[in-house]
Structure 1
Amino acid sequence: MSNDWPRIPVRDRVPYNPIVGRRFRLPNDARVAVWTIVNVENWDAAGAMPRNVLSPPMGQPLLPDIPNWAWHEYGMRVGFWRFVDVLAARGLKASFAVNASAISAYPAACEAARAAGWDFIGHGFVQGPMHAVADQREAIRQTIETIRGFTGRPVRGWESPGLTETDDTVDLLAEAGIEYVADWVLDDQPVAIKTRSGNIVSVPYTVEVNDVVLSAIQQQPSDAILQRGRDQFDRLYQEGATVPRVMAISIHPYLTGVPHRIRYLEALYDHILAHDGVLMCTGAEILDIFRNQANDR
């Protein structure tokens, strides 16, 4: 595929289609499908950190940035394992958005996700915006091959680091065989996205029930994921009586995996699981429900 091909305008990729009147249904007449995305990233200790919990003294950045790198590293040494326990105790599987380079950096965590049957999805090869990748096609290929070599299974989904895309990203993902993406946060149901290689599907993701936004950017209290997540679910559950919805919960080990937040994630799951008509899914399972109804044609 040539990068000289005409660009497809964003609005042409996802023509406006209001949620009322659609044919999408969930199995057993469920009201809401809920999926969890566990994000695992490989931060380079020698480079600038993607997120900061501690600003540099006198505003002068220093490298290596040990405090902020170590803040993230705590998540991989400790916080991640809390996620494994919380999900396993409730019989839940996550979608595992992983930098492919994290497979060698954090092998025990990736082995645990594989053993738990989580749905591995590409999250770039290293943690950095797609706009900064010199060769996106090669980075996507390398990511897919590394993950597939580790799991022995096709890589069906993709979440770009920081949800970043260029004009070509979704075309290159479809060309590489990716079936669904989490970058397009524009609906409460799956949506078909037009690419040069046919349709790819947007499985509803979240920037609001997402601990990067809640804890790292907005700096909300420790219980914010419970308060906002419960309110999100309750409204979707109410609306789902007539029009089924999808809810995403996006978590990172260094944020929600810390001792003062993990109890609120547990409470959110327990609140959701106390309701009938809820389908706990992975991203790939939501994709299959959507495609089996020919909604992306």
Structure 2
Amino acid sequence: MKPVDRLEYAAPQDRAPRPGPDGARVLVFFVVNVEEWAIERPMPRQVLPAPTNAPVLPDLANWAWHEYGMRVGFWRMLKACEARGIRPTLSVNGRVPIAYPRVAAAARDAGWEFMGHGFRQVPTHSLHDQEGMVREAVAAITACTGTPPVGWLAPGLTQTLETPDLLAKHGIRYCADFVVDDVPVPIRTAHGPLWSMPYSVELNDIPMMMVQHHRAEELHDRTCAQLDRLLAESATEGCKVMGLAVHPYISGVPHRIGVLERTLDSIARRPGAVFAQGREILEWWERG
């Protein structure tokens, strides 16, 4: 099915306002994305174009750019979250517990939710066996955490027209690839409903810093503008969800981590804004 055939259209005023858990007015779905970038493949993104713009393999410069995030940037983010009592959702390749067991164990022990992010960091469209990839990713996360993941975010939010059916078949209950609303909405599948989870392609340090080339402060200013409007709307439209996405190799570097910390502090200071993992948001929404 095409996405439009999987989703019912509904305007905010078509829904009965739903109160948030414990009086929350906006649930902040804070996502930290961790990935494995294999040196044998082209890098998923580039910060430094190759000389003469000719693609190179191995792409050491851009591999190292990401590797810094896994070796150093992640630990800055972990400290920032621990200092504030925040437990994010970890969008994680199934390969990460194998390639970076130290990182996976630290996130698991800190109580972060693990959300499937493919098995390897490659577009879904390039796979010959998409169902096998979903199965591998679910098994790898389950082996690391002891609990099967209930959420999914594909590398680059990539899907084929059959992806929702395969996710639901293998126990995934929410998917963050459908950035279509400020609350979860049902996605039709051959195996029962899959819920969309409000992620963000704009409150996201990849498009913000690497594509649009904003200064780091844009993360704080844009996040606060979004949150303030959602808080105001919640008075008549009920509790909403705000996605915020960051990556250790971008927001975990020394010249940006302070802005991320200030952003988290600004969120926490706003009455009614509550950090929540995807699993917690789903449980609230399904309770009705």
> What TM bracket, shorter-length normalisation?
over 0.9
Q: How many residues matched?
A: 286
1:178 matched to which residue of 2?
A: 172
Report SS of the residue matched to 1:241: helix
Greater percentage in helix: 2
1:5 matched to which residue of 2?
A: none
Report SS of the residue matched to 1:255: helix
Find out whether 1:152 has 2:163 as its counterpart. Answer: no
Rounded to whole Å, the distance in 1 between the matches of 2:269 and 2:201 is 25
**Is 2:28–2:242's contact at 8 Å kept on the other side of the alignment?**
yes
**Is 2:268–2:274's contact at 8 Å kept on the other side of the alignment?**
no
1:10 matched to which residue of 2?
A: 3
Gaps of 5+ in 1: 1-7
Rounded to whole Å, the distance in 2 between the matches of 1:22 and 1:30 is 18
Worse-superposed segment, 222-231 or 196-205: 222-231
Rounded to whole Å, the distance in 1 between the matches of 2:109 and 2:22 is 28
TM-score by length of 2: 0.97
2:197 matched to which residue of 1?
A: 203
Rounded to whole Å, the distance in 2 between the matches of 1:224 and 1:72 is 21
One-letter identity of the residue aligned with 1:49: M
Q: 1:277: Cα distance to partner?
A: 1.5
Gaps of 5+ in 2: none
Cα deviation, 1:206-252, whole Å, max 9, x if unaligned, reads 00000111111111112111111111111111112222211111010
One-letter identity of the residue aligned with 2:139: E
Rounded to whole Å, the distance in 2 between the matches of 1:146 and 1:235 is 39
Poorly superposed stretches of 4+, deviation over 3 Å: none
- 1:1-297 matches, cutoff 5 A: 8-23=1-16, 24-243=18-237, 244-293=239-288
Rounded to whole Å, the distance in 2 between the matches of 1:154 and 1:242 is 36
Q: Identity of paired residues, percent? A: 45
Report SS of the residue matched to 2:241: strand
Rounded to whole Å, the distance in 2 between the matches of 1:241 and 1:265 is 27
Rounded to whole Å, the distance in 1 between the matches of 2:261 and 2:203 is 14
Q: 1:21: Cα distance to partner?
A: 3.8
One-letter identity of the residue aligned with 2:208: L
Cα deviation, 1:173-231, whole Å, max 9, x if unaligned, reads 00111000000000001111010111000010000000111111111112111111111
One-letter identity of the residue aligned with 1:101: R
Report SS of the residue matched to 1:144: helix
Rounded to whole Å, the distance in 2 between the matches of 1:61 and 1:27 is 50
Rounded to whole Å, the distance in 2 between the matches of 1:221 and 1:190 is 31
Rounded to whole Å, the distance in 2 between the matches of 1:34 and 1:61 is 38
Q: 1:25: Cα distance to partner?
A: 2.5
TM-score by length of 1: 0.94
Report SS of the residue matched to 2:90: strand
One-letter identity of the residue aligned with 1:9: K
